[in-house]
Amino acid sequence: MALAHELPAWSFFNKDGWKNGDKMNLIIQFYHDKKISITDFFELSEETLKDNFQLNDKQIKDLQKVRFSLANYAFIAENLQNSGIEVIPVVSSEYSKTLKENLKKAAPIILYVKGNKQIMQEKSIAIVGSRDASEVALNFTDNIAKQASKERKVVVSGFAKGVDKQALNSSIACKGQSIIVLPQGIMTFESGFKTYYRQIIEGNVLVVSTFHPKAGWGKELAMARNPIIYGLAKEIYVAESKPSRNRQGKETKGGTYAGIMDGLKKGRIIYVRKPEVYEKNDNNFLIQSGAVAVDFNGNKLNNYEFKEDILIIAEPQSVYRSFEDNIKEILQKGQLSANDILKKLKLDWESDKLTKELKKLDFVEIRKKGNKNYFSLKGTNGPDLFEFP
């Protein structure tokens, strides 16, 4: 943790306007190379800043503004201390080593935290996915989070509805440890501190923010938080990546998709739940892009290929029903048309495509009525059901 008198100065590095890499380079120069404390650094003359640190006029002007406004930062720092919130700069031994290793010079300069700081030094796992998550994705999240908790891995979540909240709740249910990464300032999380008061006191939950302590929630902050979630985790599991829609109703890629693609570009190993054939999400594309396909229990699926949206797995281990099992269950009700089956499975396919796949199944019988095909289980004479309740 930063010393009390250093808190206002460190708060400067939470300001916008400077690239994070430039801030990090400056810190390395004065703190590591020249062994100067941050408070002494802010007392250096303009000439010294130019000669010894190669700062330009604008950068020096920014630093001088901070020097004259440290009293304002001191007031915020006092409020943080009174609320039990600590400021951990990147130079501190209490700072997450995992975060520095993963993000390097893109790592946040300071962390505002409340709770058990030691959690940041433990093995960790992030389970990420859509806010509007499907039941199968939430069940996967629950299973992976509980397994991780039993293995004493810290579960990192972004506190959004859907997969994030499920990961957190499942970890808490198992008495596991969790990190909540906020998309807002830590001083605006009063209701959350009340909700998780017991878990924080017991040392099982750590709340982390990288934004100005009084910053309210914002979409841009939520997007900026995602790299911190991935950065704090040694392992990343994707429950579900689904497209979202903008105000004009146009389908767009969500934050999970963007975060995972960025992680893959940086060489991170990312595990993605293999989707069922009836699901419409980006999981398959992420796997094709270099992510590792896993089953319901997080086990790697080595032999993996696609064929016209039908996923072929050499070692099927998922507890969820396969395409064939779903067809068997549906046709137990009797004869159904291709359109009826598509409605039941919620598949975004053409009826010709489904018919082609059903013809491959040896337990399916096809009967022609007029210009339509109807499907049933071989050897059954159940009632014709053309509409679903």
Per-residue confidence (pLDDT) for residue 308, from 0 to 100: 43
Residue 36 lies in a domain: yes
Percent of the chain with pLDDT over 70: 85
Per-residue confidence (pLDDT) for residue 111, from 0 to 100: 94
- Answer for the pair 263, 230: CB distance below 8 angstroms, yes or no: yes
Per-residue confidence (pLDDT) for residue 10, from 0 to 100: 76
**Mean pLDDT along residues 175-187:** 95
Per-residue confidence (pLDDT) for residue 8, from 0 to 100: 63
Tokens standing for residue 378:
């071989």
Dihedral pair phi/psi, residue 261, rounded to 5°:
-60, -40
Residues 193 and 55 in one domain: no
Per-residue confidence (pLDDT) for residue 4, from 0 to 100: 54
Q: Which amino acid is at 86?
A: E
Per-residue confidence (pLDDT) for residue 14, from 0 to 100: 66
pLDDT at 309 exceeding the cut of 60: no
More confident residue, 293 or 17: 293
Residues 302 and 225 in one domain: yes
Per-residue pLDDT tens digits for 350-360: 888 888 888 88
Per-residue confidence (pLDDT) for residue 121, from 0 to 100: 96
Per-residue confidence (pLDDT) for residue 124, from 0 to 100: 97
Residues 72 and 209 in one domain: no
Per-residue confidence (pLDDT) for residue 7, from 0 to 100: 66
**Mean pLDDT along residues 39-66:** 84
Residues 28 and 69 in one domain: yes
Tokens standing for residue 144:
């992976």
pLDDT at 1 exceeding the cut of 60: no
Q: Rounded mean pLDDT of the chain? A: 84
Residue 229 lies in a domain: yes
Residue 195 lies in a domain: yes
CATH code, domain carrying 127: 3.40.50.450
Residues 278 and 363 in one domain: no
Residue 29 lies in a domain: yes
Residue 162 lies in a domain: yes
Residues 171 and 271 in one domain: yes
pLDDT at 152 exceeding the cut of 60: yes
Residues 127 and 268 in one domain: yes
Residues 289 and 202 in one domain: yes
Of 231, 164, 168, 225, the C-alpha closest to 200 is 168
Residue 76 lies in a domain: yes
Residues 269 and 349 in one domain: no
Residues 48 and 166 in one domain: no
Spatial CB neighbours of 244, under 8 Å, sequence gap ≥ 6: 132, 251, 252, 253, 254
Residues 186 and 334 in one domain: no
**Mean pLDDT along residues 169-193:** 95
**Mean pLDDT along residues 4-16:** 66
pLDDT at 369 exceeding the cut of 70: yes
Per-residue pLDDT tens digits for 94-138: 999 999 999 998 999 999 999 999 999 999 999 999 988 999 999
Cβ-count burial 228-244 (b if 16+ within 10 Å, e if not): bbbbbbbbbbbbbbbee
The last residue of a domain, from among 62, 82, 102: 82
Per-residue confidence (pLDDT) for residue 5, from 0 to 100: 61
Residues 135 and 254 in one domain: yes
**Within 13 Å and on the Cβ side, how many CA atoms surround 242?**
16
Per-residue confidence (pLDDT) for residue 344, from 0 to 100: 81
C-alpha to C-alpha distances, 107 to 24, 34, 64, 333, nearest whole angstrom: 9, 22, 25, 57
Per-residue confidence (pLDDT) for residue 320, from 0 to 100: 39
Per-residue confidence (pLDDT) for residue 167, from 0 to 100: 97
Per-residue confidence (pLDDT) for residue 140, from 0 to 100: 96
**Mean pLDDT along residues 329-344:** 84
Q: What is the pTM of this model?
A: 0.74
Per-residue confidence (pLDDT) for residue 361, from 0 to 100: 86
Residue 346 lies in a domain: yes
More confident residue, 325 or 366: 366
**Mean pLDDT along residues 268-283:** 90
Q: How far apart are the first and last CA of the chain?
A: 61
Per-residue confidence (pLDDT) for residue 338, from 0 to 100: 87
CATH code, domain carrying 346: 1.10.10.10
Per-residue pLDDT tens digits for 193-210: 999 999 999 999 999 999
Domains of the chain: total: 3
Task: Note down the domain range covering 353.
Answer: 323-377
Residue 17 lies in a domain: yes
